[in-house]
Amino acid sequence: MSERQASYGPSDVEMTPEVEEVEGTDVELAPPWVTILHNCDCHTFDDVVRQLIKAISCSEDRAWEIAWEVHNTGKSVVKVGPETECVRVGNILGAIGLIVTVAQS
């Protein structure tokens, strides 16, 4: 019997990358923003419901719930999220003259 020698090239050897472990990394997240819809007597419920569906892509049933909450309590938080998204929602609601506040929570 003859002996065989194995020859290994770079593609035949499994390489394990070096990984540096970092402990105690704190990532501070900015507080979320909110869009608040306020009550006004200048729009019909149908107007508010239609605009809520456009602004936050909710169901008609959910839009009616929010509209009633605004009517009964004076306001409702309709969006919590990044600033740009809350501003976008506020702009859509405000496009028909609804009273909206966009603020960092």
Domain definitions of the chain by residue range: 31-104
User: pTM value?
Assistant: 0.72
Q: What is the pLDDT of residue 6?
A: 46
Structure-block tokens of residue 41:
């007597």
Q: Which residues contact 82 (CB under 8 A, 6 or more apart)?
A: 32, 33
CATH 3.30.1390.10 fits 31-104, yes or no: yes
8 phi, psi to nearest 5 deg: -110, 130
Q: Which residues contact 77 (CB under 8 A, 6 or more apart)?
A: 34, 35, 36
Residue by residue, pLDDT tens for the chain (105 residues) are 445 454 445 555 555 657 566 666 666 777 899 999 999 989 999 999 999 999 999 999 999 999 999 999 999 999 999 999 999 999 999 999 999 999 998
Q: What is the pLDDT of residue 25?
A: 63
Q: What is the pLDDT of residue 80?
A: 97
